[in-house]
């Protein structure tokens, strides 16, 4: 959304615009001039907050990781029941697929900062899944393999949504698929 020339921009405005660009074309899609035009900002506004484009890319990657991993985990921690936590997590990932940024970033893994953030994100998410699955009663080794299967399904769904969006419908339209994942991969409460 473009603002008037007198509008003030924040670092978060630039980060949000960079994340949007990354969702479409990976980190290589982040360029200062097009983002400035999209925001209706001057390049000077950009340099007020970031030393260069790479600093913006790093900030956007970290914000994306925090928002789609740690903040989600914190909201799940508020739920008292482990099965409810897993159901809420599955609902979140299938209904809010973070616009497939993980898949768009795969093309940029030659860039160390992208590769590092992706690896850190994957490890953190698997750790969260293992913990939640252990809370549901799975033994640690079973929780580890189930977490990896669930995460692989998640990444596969993101990829399919990016390459063939109609194949795995989101939200209520994808309810049967979500239920199938729950039934096959999650432990049932005893």
Question: For residues 180 and 190, what is the distance between their CA atoms, to the nearest angstrom?
Answer: 19
Q: What 8-state DSSP symbol labels residue 7?
A: -
Confidence band of 172 (pLDDT split at 50, 70, 90): low
Evaluate if residue 103 carries a pLDDT over 90. Answer: no
Predicted confidence (pLDDT) per residue in 138-155, tens digit: 999 999 999 999 999 888
Q: How many residues does the chain have?
A: 190
Question: For residues 14 and 131, what is the distance between their CA atoms, to the nearest angstrom?
Answer: 34
Predicted confidence (pLDDT) per residue in 7-45, tens digit: 588 999 999 999 999 988 899 999 999 999 999 998 888
Beta carbons within 8 Å of 33's beta carbon, 6+ residues apart: 43
What is the per-residue pLDDT for 1? Answer: 46
* Residue carrying structure tokens 């939640």: 132
Q: What is the pTM of this model?
A: 0.84
Cβ atoms 59, 112 nearer than 8 A = no
Evaluate if residue 4 carries a pLDDT over 60. Answer: no
What is the per-residue pLDDT for 94? Answer: 75
Burial classification of residue 91, based on how many CB atoms lie within 10 Å of its CB (0-12 exposed, 13-18 middle, 19 or more buried)? middle
Evaluate if residue 97 carries a pLDDT over 60. Answer: no
What is the per-residue pLDDT for 108? Answer: 86
């Amino acid at each position: 959304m473009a603002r008037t020339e007198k509008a003030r921009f924040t670092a978060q405005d630039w980060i949000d615009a960079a994340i949007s660009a990354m969702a479409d074309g990976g980190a290589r899609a982040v360029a200062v001039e097009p983002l400035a035009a999209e925001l209706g900002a001057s390049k000077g506004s950009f340099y007020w907050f970031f030393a260069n484009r790479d600093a913006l890319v790093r900030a956007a990657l970290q914000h994306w990781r925090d928002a789609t991993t740690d903040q989600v985990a914190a909201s799940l921690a508020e739920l008292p029941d482990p099965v409810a936590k897993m159901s809420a997590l599955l609902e979140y990932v299938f209904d809010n697929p973070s616009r497939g940024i993980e898949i768009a970033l795969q093309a940029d893994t030659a860039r160390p900062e992208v590769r590092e953030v992706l690896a850190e994100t994957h490890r953190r998410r698997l750790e969260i899944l293992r913990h939640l699955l252990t809370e549901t009663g799975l033994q640690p080794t079973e929780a580890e393999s189930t977490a990896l299967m669930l995460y692989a399904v998640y990444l596969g769904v993101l990829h399919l949504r990016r390459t063939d969006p109609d194949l795995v419908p989101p939200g209520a339209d994808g309810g049967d698929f979500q239920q199938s994942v729950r039934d096959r991969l999650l432990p049932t409460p005893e």
